[in-house]
Amino acid sequence: MTTVVRPRSASTPSSQAERAGLPPFAAAPVLAVAAGFFALNLALAARYGYHRDELYFLACAKRLAWGYVDQPPIVPAVTRLATVVFGRSVVGVRVFPALAGGALVVVVGLLAREMGGGRRAQLFGALLTVSSGLFLGGFHLMSTAAFDAVFWAVILLLVARLLRTGDQRLWLAVGLVAGVGLLNKHNVLFCCLGLAIGLALAGWRQQLRSPWLWAGGVLALLIWAPNLVWNAQHQWAAWQMLRSLHRENSTLSASIQFIPSQLLEVGPFTAPFWIGGLLWLLRNPAGQRWRALGVGYLALVVLFVAIGAKPYYLAGWYPVLFAAGGVHLDHRRHRPAGVALPLALMAVQVVSSLPLALPVLPPSAIANPVNDKVNKELGATVGWTRVTAQVAAAYDRLSPDERTTAVILTANYGEAGAVDHFGPALGLPPAISPHNNYWVWGPRAARDGATTVAVGLTESELRPYFAHITRVGTLDTGYGIHTDEYGRPIYVCRGQLQPWPVMWARLKTFG
């Protein structure tokens, strides 16, 4: 007979028997999977080139602050650390996200252990993680999303342990991780909201009244405070950015596609296993103690469908489902094909996802509509040296007198970051851009009346500010890949009609 484990009261201490009964951590196999995942990402780190966001992070890393228009401070700080430790190379920038991917694998193994999973369950959970298309490509680039997934997973691991042991002091650790996570990406608030709803609906309401939980919340707020102060000093730039993103992305189409996108991005071949993990949390008596984690996932699905969120917003919750899926798979291992079939499907998932998630193919091979729809981020890592050379060709056409004061104005932070990173070797001055935090940094040394090389802006956008606009080039990232830069114009603009401060206020672009 199976014993139904019911939620304990907030005051019930954990027993020595429970602690003694926790399976040992399967260190060797889980760490082997984590090391392999790290090695794979690092081996492919230099295959193409920098991503537009990484070029932007390099620019932010030169100007460390407690906040930026589109992100809190952690990723620029980590990028700065990477350049100090490993040098300004694409591989060096990607070491820390690759390490984060390995760390996530370990956290999934620990989550499976926390749910009573033994060696095999922990290994299954780790393999489900690295076979997922969402995570297979999620730790290739320096990004807030890579670290965000780890912060979510650690928070959920701590809550899983709290639900098993009843040790409410763990809320302080949750608050610590949440506070640091909020310095990386504000999406951690969604994780906390999902947990609150899950606990309330799954019979753990008493935890929401725990003084330890509220102390953890205060701790998180104190850690997050410097970023909040920065935002208050910059007209709540993060809120302006959020509203802009909501207008851009929150459509009926996004809401309709959200759930199908989960199946596609997380992995259609392994979906039965993580869905099985979700059902194990919701329906199986052995998983009842952690039912709040399953309910929290469903609550966020409903919320994200309602607001038309991007599919990857849920990424941080999947480690729980992979861990539960590993436990569920381990319970079924004695059935026919109980081990062979899951491993075979994971292998199929890896083989089918790898060319879409990571740069294993030649750049010319990704110039197709499938890659544009499934993972356009790969295309965004191609051609930035070429783009900078095209800008340099336009700049070199100016007279020597014009070049002494010329301004390079770009439409977005990727183009500006490329000019700032690769441009000095070509004799280019620093770029300015009205996009996101480049706008906050202002037009800097731009002089009124100077000749402007405008990159990526349309003639209609430039016409109010310049009397003479001449097209001198067209951006092309090469290999036939239609990136966001492909086909954009390069103009030389003369006869400035308005001073830079006026232009700057009107050109402002958050998105």
pLDDT digits (tens, 9 = 90+) for 477-497: 998 888 889 999 999 999 999
Q: How large is the average pLDDT for residues 11-40?
A: 77
Residues 400-415: pLDDT tens digits? Answer: 999 999 999 999 999 9
pLDDT per residue over 275-322, tens digit each? 999 999 999 999 999 999 999 999 999 999 998 888 889 999 999 999
Provide the whole-model pTM: 0.92
Residue at token pair 């001055």 = 429
Amino acid residing at 366: I
User: Does residue 11 register a pLDDT over 80?
Assistant: no
> Can you give the pLDDT at residue 242?
85
Q: Which two tokens stand for residue 81?
A: 């650390």
Alpha helices in 250-360 (DSSP H): 252-266, 271-283, 291-307, 318-331, 340-357
Determine the Cα–Cα distance for residues 111 and 126; give it in Å rounded to an integer.
10
Structural domain spans, the chain: 18-357, 384-507
For residue range 62-75, list pLDDT tens digits in order. Answer: 999 999 999 999 99
Token pair in block for residue 453: 């090389």
DSSP SS3 for 361: coil
Q: In residues, how long is the chain? A: 511
Closest of 119, 68, 59 to residue 88, by C-alpha? 59
pLDDT tens-digit profile of 176-234?
999 999 999 999 999 999 999 999 999 999 999 999 999 999 999 999 999 999 999 99
Residue 334 predicted with pLDDT over 80? no
Q: 505 exposed, middle or buried (CB, 10 Å; 0-12, 13-18, 19+)?
A: exposed
CA distance 142 to 136: 14
DSSP per position, 29-49: HHHHHHHHHHHHHHHTTTSS-
Q: In what order do the strands lie in the sheet with 431-432?
A: 431-432, 407-410, 452-455, 489-496, 466-474
74 close to 58: Cβ distance less than 8 angstroms? no
